[in-house]
Structure 1
Amino acid sequence: MTPQTHWISAFLEAQAAELGAARNTLLAYGRDLQDFESWLTHQNQRFDAVQQSHIEAYLIQCDAQGLSRATRARRLSAIKQLYRFAFEEGWRTENPAIQITGPGRDKRLPQTLSEAEVDLLLDAARVSGRSDRDRARNTCLMELLYATGMRVSELVGLPVSAARGDPRMLLIRGKGGKERMVPLSPPARTALAAWLVIRDGLEDTRRNAGKPASKYLFMTSSAAGHLTRHRFYLLIKEFAVAAGVSPAKVTPHTLRHAFATHLLANGADLRSIQTLLGHADVATTEIYTHVLEARLSELVLTHHPLANEGARTSSGIMPPDDQ
């Protein structure tokens, strides 16, 4: 057992023994702290040498991965509790996390994009990249994401086997290994076919160089073997800049929200959207009814000719008496 692993196990034992923490809570703490431990290892850092700047850098990395504010707040909470425990145990002479304020939980409705903004992003992806290969890959990434509403981890980790045979439906393996089928739009199928031709050519080159075949649709030479979530996060920001859409409102998850909101606006029912998104509970999907209601209210208040009472009276148009 490494010293860092010992820190985590001792902390979890104390949480269970002293606070009676529930099993699910302990599992969540363990997952969050193991992720932090993995990040520290890549930075050649140890728990006992961590400074405030390291924790802040880790939180920035979590944000760059597209993790929700709630997830980032939970991870910071786990780190704070770990270092409070370490301080009380005498493992540290100071607490490096004590002055860090968390992002808080985002209680606002999820931000989404209009259909026009999504079209601009798709157009930008088609022309973004230094080569035909990059542009074909970028187009395929964006078309698949918007056509299916996949999570970014599901998108970048797609196996190439799922894309063979010009599929009308794409098999997606989601959270907990659960599988679901999502239909592909004609533009997504076209982009997928074009990328597969280029991707298979790259695979032939790799094979001729004695490298093993890749099982991923978006293969790279990274340690993961495929395009990383962080790299795609940066790509989608580049597309936003090129499209003239505010980068602050564009993330991989925003496209997932747009997928669901646009389906709902065009008549899809919640149960179908739940299935397509891979939500375990329809209550999670119901947030999109509130998103749609908010957007419709904003549309009316902004564009309806009679929405501005001042404009109505100043123009000489008075509201009729109640009948």
Structure 2
Amino acid sequence: MAAEGRFRGGTQMDGSSESPGFEQVAGEFRRHLELERNLSFNTIRGYMSDLAGFVAHIRSEGEVTLPSIDVHVMREWLALQHDAGRSRATLARRTAFLRTFTAFAHRRGWLRRDPGLLLGTAKATRALPEVLNRYEAKAVLDRGLVGVAKDVKALRDQAIMEVLYATGLRVGELCGLDVDDVDRERYVVRVVGKGGKERSVPFGRPALRALDAWTVRGRALWVRDCSGPALLLGVRGGRIDPTAVRRVVHARLGQVDGVPDMGPHGLRHSAATHLLEGGADLRSVQELLGHTSLNTTQIYTHISIDRLHAAYRQAHPRA
């Protein structure tokens, strides 16, 4: 990772040694995120990019030692991000990075105190995600049954669509599924989610029929030495990747007139919304989606309430 300059050496809090240079800090911080925090690849990449940007900022202000970083320096950097027009989501992510970094540096003894504790939490505004309604979802999935029996790719694509909508899996979780992860007796699939956490996610009969059709009549024709145990394969026989899944979803939605275009995450949002509208409790949906915090799941209650308001305004004579 490229970075501008180094932290200037400075005495540590016990006065015994110099504070480390940027390369050492960056390397140890990355290992902390990977091994101790077990964060996702995308989160680590974002935090490391933020670290490089933060260091570039403090270097532009002159020679700054790592132990001299305080909450004023951090707030100044965030203010510059705000003035540059960064979104609230970006500011929230960079605030989270700062708090994670200063806590890490404090535990290493590089900071006498943790200034991140004084940093307010920037809350990102959540735009409600676009979702399919029940009739649109049924139309999309039923459309995939046309001519599917004679087309290997169509068998795979139908399995992709049915499983995504039935389970609400993230696209990376879907791509990571192995053949043995599907429990056909109990109608559940074993999923390894964010942070390596495992969960069991239920699915229904339509998804099982699509999976059986693919594994029996499709997968065997595409399997190669490179396939390994992967459940879903690309046309060359390797494990399917998220880009290919996104193409499948966009193409299938485009086959039905009037259906909004969205990616795999749109099917995840749709599945969660329909579960809540059908009476599922929030905790169960949280477990199914693999959300660490219930607050993340609550966005789907907002979608349902918005739909309720829309129906009320349309139907009630005194709305």
> What TM-score comes out, normalization by structure 2 length?
0.63
Q: Secondary structure at the match of 2:144?
A: helix
Q: Secondary structure at the match of 1:280?
A: coil
CA spacing shift, 1:261–1:16, aligned 2, 3 Å: farther
Does residue 198 of the first structure (1) align with residue 217 of the second (2)? yes
Does residue 218 of the first structure (1) align with residue 232 of the second (2)? yes
The within-5 A match list for 1:111-260 is 111-127=130-146, 132-163=151-182, 165=184, 167-202=186-221, 206=224, 211-220=225-234, 225-248=238-261, 250-260=262-272
Q: Cα distance, 1:123 vs. partner?
A: 2.4
Counterpart-to-counterpart distance in 2, 1:198 and 1:260? 30
Task: Name the % identity.
Answer: 31
Deviation digits for residues 121-144 of structure 1 (CA, Å, limit 9, x no counterpart): 212333488961011111111111
Counterpart-to-counterpart distance in 1, 2:85 and 2:172? 28
CA spacing shift, 1:145–1:240, aligned 2, 3 Å: same
Aligned residue identity for 1:228: D
CA spacing shift, 1:235–1:86, aligned 2, 3 Å: farther
CA spacing shift, 1:306–1:199, aligned 2, 3 Å: same
Contact 1:76 1:102 in 2 (8 A): no
Q: Cα distance, 1:258 vs. partner?
A: 0.8
Aligned residue number for residue 127 of structure 2: 108
Instruction: Identify the range of structure 1 (130-139 vs 268-277) with the bigger mean alpha-carbon deviation.
Output: 130-139
Q: Cα distance, 1:149 vs. partner?
A: 0.7
> What TM-score comes out, normalization by structure 1 length?
0.62
Instruction: Identify the range of structure 1 (166-175 vs 152-161) with the bigger mean alpha-carbon deviation.
Output: 166-175
Deviation digits for residues 128-185 of structure 1 (CA, Å, limit 9, x no counterpart): 8896101111111111111111111111221111126555111111111111111120
Counterpart-to-counterpart distance in 2, 1:145 and 1:107? 23
Contact 1:33 1:79 in 2 (8 A): no
CA spacing shift, 1:32–1:267, aligned 2, 3 Å: closer
Aligned residue number for residue 319 of structure 1: none
Does residue 81 of the first structure (1) align with residue 53 of the second (2)? yes
Deviation digits for residues 231-267 of structure 1 (CA, Å, limit 9, x no counterpart): 111221111111124454x211111111111111111
Aligned residue identity for 1:286: Q
CA spacing shift, 1:16–1:124, aligned 2, 3 Å: farther
The within-5 A match list for 1:33-52 is none
CA spacing shift, 1:13–1:30, aligned 2, 3 Å: farther
Counterpart-to-counterpart distance in 2, 1:301 and 1:170? 40
Counterpart-to-counterpart distance in 1, 2:167 and 2:176? 14
Aligned residue number for residue 51 of structure 1: none
CA spacing shift, 1:85–1:183, aligned 2, 3 Å: same
Unpaired segments of 5 or more residues in structure 1?
36-73, 90-97, 309-323
Counterpart-to-counterpart distance in 2, 1:81 and 1:28? 23
Q: Secondary structure at the match of 1:216?
A: coil
Counterpart-to-counterpart distance in 2, 1:8 and 1:219? 42
Identify the structure with the greater helix proportion: 1
Counterpart-to-counterpart distance in 2, 1:9 and 1:34? 21
Aligned residue number for residue 306 of structure 1: 317
Aligned residue identity for 2:194: K
Does residue 267 of the first structure (1) align with residue 286 of the second (2)? no
CA spacing shift, 1:169–1:107, aligned 2, 3 Å: closer
Does residue 292 of the first structure (1) align with residue 271 of the second (2)? no
CA spacing shift, 1:34–1:10, aligned 2, 3 Å: farther
**What is the Cα-based RMSD across aligned positions, in Å?**
4.3
Counterpart-to-counterpart distance in 1, 2:51 and 2:186? 44
Aligned residue identity for 1:284: T
Contact 1:149 1:255 in 2 (8 A): yes
Q: Cα distance, 1:215 vs. partner?
A: 1.3
